[in-house]
Every structure is written in C-alpha cells, then in structure tokens.
Amino acid sequence: MNGVIEKGAGKIDGDALERINRYTRRPYKAEEVYTFSVVLCDNEVDRDYECFTRDALGKLAVLFEGKTGLLDHEHTSRGQSARIYAARVKDFPEKRTSRGESYAQLTAEAYVPRNAETAAFIESIESGIRKEVSVGCAVAKRTCSVCGAEHCAHQRGRLYDGERCVRILDEPTDAYEFSFVAVPAQRAAGVVKRFSGMPAVQIDSFGALLKALETGDAPVTLDTAALDGLRAELQALEKRAACGDRYREALCARIRKLSAVAQPELGAGLTAAIVKGLSIGELEEMAQALQRMADAKMPVTPQLAGRSLEKTEQAADDRAFYI
C-alpha cells in the first residue's frame, strides 16, 4: 500500500501538541515540531485486486497511531523518523469506489522534530514535492468478493459474470512501521500486506497444490513432508493407472474377439483402429452390443452360456490367427 503525503499544514494546535508530547521524551513546543498529513490507504481496489472494508480502515486508524517511519535517505543521513500522532478515516460520501461503495481514506497526522537533520525533508514537503509512504499491516480476514468465502477457487482480477473478483481485507490485527518512498513514474510495485490470520497452505495432494497455485492467496512452500506426500500420491495414482490400463487392454481384447464373431467383415485392423479412440465407457457399451450380436448369431441354451462364450472366444482367436 502506498499513501500520499498531503501538503503539510505546519500549524499545530494545543490538542495536537498534547498528542505529540505523549510520544516525546520531553515536552516539545509548537515551534519545535513540524506536522504533515499522510493518506495511508483507502478502500479502493488496489493493484493486487484487494481492498479494505470501511470498518478495516477504522481499525487501522487505531493501529497506526504512534507508528514511526524512517525519512528517506535522500533527505536525511541518519535515522530520523516521523511519527504518526493521530489517524482517522475521512469519508467522501459523494465519491464511489470501483465496487460502488462510499469512498473513504485513512489519513494520518505525523510529525518530525525541526532540526538540521529534518530541514531538507520539511523543505521537500513544503515545496510540494510529491512523496509517498509505503505502509504495511496484517489482516486476519480476506474474503472473496464473488462468493464471500475465505478460501475458494475464484481468482483475483478475473471477471465472473461481469464482476471483478477481488479479495476484501478485514479485521486488521497489526500495523507496521511505514517508510517514505520516492515516487517513480509508475507507481511502486512494493505493496506490503501481511496476512497474519492465514495459515500457510498445507500441500498434501496434487489437488491442493494446483488449487494453491491457481488462487495464489498464500505463499506455497513444499517441504520434505509435502514432497513425500506428493510422491506417495503419485505412486498410488500410477498403480491405479496400471490397473486401468490392464482393464482397458482386456476390454479391447474382448471386443476384438466378439467383433470377429459378430461382424467379421469389419476386419481386425479396423476394429483395433476404432477402439483406440474410445473411452472406457464407450468400450464397455461396445462390448455389450457386440456380445448381444454374437449371442444372436450363436443362440445357446442358458445353462451352457458360460461355456459357449469360451467357445466363441476360442473361435475368434482361431479366426484372428488365420487373418
């Protein structure tokens, strides 16, 4: 998240000074501090297709009070920092976010002591050089705008029935130190959001791995246990696939034999070519149909049915041999 420094007012009232002095080692006089406003974040959808709720901004206002931010290297050489002494949510009821909600900004008041170290920084704000602050926070709840779930298959940024899927950030649990960043031509990509309440994605199957990679909600790390789990799943799947292959082969062999009896004019090569492209379900259907056709050609008494099929298969085998 990047906020923007608003033009510093510099005027300090008694209330502000009292708030500032809660953070100083000794009481400061009004002329000893310089104050400025910073927009920390808002409830608009950001580049990561995420947005805060209005409620979250209110909670962040409390969490950001007292937090410090290092001044940029450009203007100070040694660890001078600004501190937020007040933060509040500014509502803009006439303005709507892209999601159609009433627009709101989290605005903070910050101060720096006036001294040789901070003079250049203060000058840069006074002269209107645009600055941004990069802020970070932790949230416990992120829900999908499409389905309202915390974990789902919807992908951020994608359209679902014309609605853009975004993650809605709520229940902030912590706010971190902020930093001043130079404003590049294109907005900085360094968005800092941490999701404290979110457990790391447990990868215990290929399904879980694919889902984690698709939704991209949390970092995916594969440890040894996860790799062992995936290897075991792969081995089990290979075994099942081998069973499936053998069943398919048996089914095809049966079809070739039945076909040789039921429709000998088709030829073994053509039958083999036909079965190649069929699914298991289609093969089963074909085998059943051919069985009926073969039975119709060779009517048998029910009690001899089993032996008759053996005979039929034997005959088909012989035929195949002759071809």
Binding site for Zn ion (CB under 5 A): 144, 146-147, 152, 154
Q: Which is closer to Zn ion, CB of 147 or CB of 188?
A: 147
Burial class (CB in 10 A: 0-12, 13-18, 19+), 55: middle
Q: Which is closer to Zn ion, CB of 210 or CB of 280?
A: 210
Minimum distance from CB of 164 to Zn ion (Å)?
Answer: 12
Q: Which is closer to Zn ion, CB of 120 or CB of 152?
A: 152
Minimum distance from CB of 169 to Zn ion (Å)?
Answer: 15
Per DSSP, helices labelled H in 45-117 are 54-64
Q: What is the DSSP string of 183-197?
A: --SS-----EEE-TT
Minimum distance from CB of 41 to Zn ion (Å)?
Answer: 23
Read off the tokens for 281: 């379900």
Q: Which is closer to Zn ion, CB of 151 or CB of 248?
A: 151
Minimum distance from CB of 147 to Zn ion (Å)?
Answer: 3
The phi, psi pair for 46, rounded to 5°, reads -95, -175
Minimum distance from CB of 174 to Zn ion (Å)?
Answer: 26
Hey, is 133 helix, strand or coil?
A: strand
Q: Are 212 and 222 in contact (CB under 8 A)?
A: no
Read off the tokens for 287: 């085998």
Per DSSP, helices labelled H in 106-145 are 119-126
The phi, psi pair for 183, rounded to 5°, reads -95, 110
Minimum distance from CB of 1 to Zn ion (Å)?
Answer: 23
Q: Which is closer to Zn ion, CB of 24 or CB of 143?
A: 143
Residue 314: count of CB within 10 angstroms of its CB: 11
Q: Which is closer to Zn ion, CB of 56 or CB of 146?
A: 146
Residue nearest Zn ion, Cβ-based:
144
Minimum distance from CB of 295 to Zn ion (Å)?
Answer: 53
Q: Which is closer to Zn ion, CB of 59 or CB of 167?
A: 167
Q: Are 109 and 35 in contact (CB under 8 A)?
A: yes
Nearest to 179 by CA among 192, 189, 196, 195: 192
